[in-house]
Amino acid sequence: MSILVLAEHDNQQLKPVTLNTLAAAQQLKGDITLLVAGHQCASVAEQAAKVSGVKQVLVADAEAYAHHLAENVSDLLVDLAEPFTHILAASTTTGKNILPRAAALLGVNPLTDVSGVESSHRFKRAIYAGNAIATVEIDEPKVVMTVRGTAFDPVAAEGGSAEITSVSAVFENADIRFSHEALAESDRPELTAASIVVSGGRGLGNGENFELLYQVADKLGAAVGASRAAVDAGYVPNDMQVGQTGKMVAPELYIAVGISGAIQHLAGMKDSKVIVAINKDEEAPIFQVADYGLVADLFDAVPELQNSL
C-alpha cells in the first residue's frame, strides 16, 4: 500500500483533524505521504514533517492553492496520484469538496466519511444520519476517500522526521476565483478538536443568551456548538452547527443545553464519551442518550453551573 493524505491547514497551522486522518491511513499499513497544498505554507510543511509515521511530505506552494479551491487541488492530486493506492482527506468541507472531484477525474468511485477500516478495500461508514452503519467493499484500482476524524484517535504530532519535497506543478482553473471569506474568530478551541463541547439549542431563545454558554465554556476550556434549530433561527453562525449536516464531534464531555435532541443532532454528537443534557422538558429525546440528565430551566442551571466550576 502507498497512501497519499491531503493535509488540512490554513497556511499557518496544520489542523488537528489531519492527525486523525493519518491514523486511518496507518490502519491501511503502507508508506504514508502527506501533501501540503497551499500558499506560503512552509511552516505547515515543517509541522507535517514532524508528525509520527509520515514518510514523505510533498509541498505544493502556489497562490492557486491558497484557498484550497477544489478545481486546482483536484488537478494537483490527479497529477500526483500515479504511485498511490489510496488517497485520503479529512471529511471536512474542504476534503468533501475536493476528493470526489479528484475521484471522478481519476475515473473511480469515492467513499465519503469513512469511520472504520476493515481492510485495504473494505470500510465502514454511517448512512441514514447515523441510523445505520454500512460495511462496503470497493472494487477500484485506487481508493479515494474522506475520513471521519472523530472515528480515529489522532497520531502523535511529534516524533517523525519526514523528508520535505517540493512540487512545482501549478494548476489554476480560469473559471473560478476566490472572492472573500468571513471566518469566525475565536480564542476557544476548535469544535471538532475540543475535549469539551458546550452546545446550545433553541431553548436559549436568542443569540445574546449564548453568552451564558460562552462563560461556562471559558471556565472549562471548551468549544461552543449549536443545534441546527439554533443556527436556522439565526442565534449563531453556521460554523457552530453540530449534527448530520454540520460538524461531527466526539469530545470527552458534551454538554447539551436547551437542545431537544433531534435525530440529525444526535448523529453529530452521540459518539461523545460523556453526554450531559440540561433541558426543562423531561420528555426531550436528548435524555435518552445522556449519561447525566438534569431537568431544569437552563437560565437557572447554567449560571449555577458556571459558579460551581
Partner 1 sequence: MKILVAVKRVIDYNVKVRVKADGTDVDLANVKMALNPFCEIAVEEAVRLKEQGKATEIVVVSIGQKSCEEQLRTALALGADRAIRVDVESTPDALTIARLLAKVAEEEQPGLVLLGKQSIDSDNNQTGQMLAALMKRPQATFASEVQIEGEALTVTREVDGGLQTLTLNLPAVVTTDLRLNEPRYASLPNIMKAKKKPLEVKSAADLGISVTNKVKLVSVAPPAERSAGIKVGSVAELVDKLRNEAKVIA
* Three-state DSSP state, 303: helix
* Site size toward partner 1, by CB under 8 A: 90
CB of 286 to partner 1, least distance (A): 10
**Sequence-separated (6 or more) residues with CB below 8 Å from residue 45:** 36, 57, 59, 61, 164
Look up cell 489531519; give the residue: 18
- Residue 122: half-sphere exposure toward Cβ, Cα within 13 Å: 3
User: Residue 12 or 166: which CB sits closer to partner 1?
Assistant: 12
User: Residue 159 or 221: which CB sits closer to partner 1?
Assistant: 221
Does 130 bind partner 1 (CB under 8 A)? Our answer is yes
Residues 58-117 touching partner 1, rule: CB under 8 A, are 67, 69-71, 74, 92-94, 96-105, 107-113
Phi, psi of 121 (to 5 degrees): -130, 10
User: Residue 32 or 229: which CB sits closer to partner 1?
Assistant: 229
Does 297 bind partner 1 (CB under 8 A)? Our answer is no
Residue type, 134: A
Torsion of CA 296, 299, 303, 306, to 10 degrees: 60
C-alpha cell at 77: 492530486
Cα separations in angstroms, 142 against 76, 98, 107, 111, 305 = 16, 16, 9, 11, 51
Does 159 bind partner 1 (CB under 8 A)? Our answer is no
Output DSSP code: residue 247.
Answer: B
Does 295 bind partner 1 (CB under 8 A)? Our answer is yes
User: Residue 162 or 276: which CB sits closer to partner 1?
Assistant: 276
User: Residue 157 or 296: which CB sits closer to partner 1?
Assistant: 296
Does 165 bind partner 1 (CB under 8 A)? Our answer is no
User: Residue 7 or 162: which CB sits closer to partner 1?
Assistant: 7
Does 151 bind partner 1 (CB under 8 A)? Our answer is no
- Name which position in 126, 194, 249, 259 contacts partner 1 (CB under 8 A): 126
Distance from C-alpha of 226 to C-alpha of 277, rounded to nearest angstrom: 13
Does 268 bind partner 1 (CB under 8 A)? Our answer is no
User: Residue 49 or 145: which CB sits closer to partner 1?
Assistant: 145
User: Residue 159 or 169: which CB sits closer to partner 1?
Assistant: 169
- Name which position in 166, 238, 281, 297 contacts partner 1 (CB under 8 A): 238
Does 172 bind partner 1 (CB under 8 A)? Our answer is no
What angle do helix axes 70-80 and 93-106 make, rounded to 10 degrees? 50
- Name which position in 82, 83, 137, 161 contacts partner 1 (CB under 8 A): 137
User: Residue 86 or 162: which CB sits closer to partner 1?
Assistant: 86
Residues 203-222 touching partner 1, rule: CB under 8 A, are 220
Exposed e or buried b per residue across 29-47, where buried means at least 16 C-beta atoms within 10 angstroms of its C-beta: ebebbbbbbbeebeebbeb
CB of 238 to partner 1, least distance (A): 5
CB of 55 to partner 1, least distance (A): 28
Does 281 bind partner 1 (CB under 8 A)? Our answer is no
Q: Name the nearest CA neighbour of 33 among 198, 183, 164, 155.
A: 164
- Which of these ranges, 23-31, 55-63, 79-87, 247-255, lies near partner 1 under the rule CB under 8 A? 247-255
**Sequence-separated (6 or more) residues with CB below 8 Å from residue 167:** 35, 58, 59, 60, 76, 80
Q: How many CB atoms lie within 10 A of CB 297?
A: 12
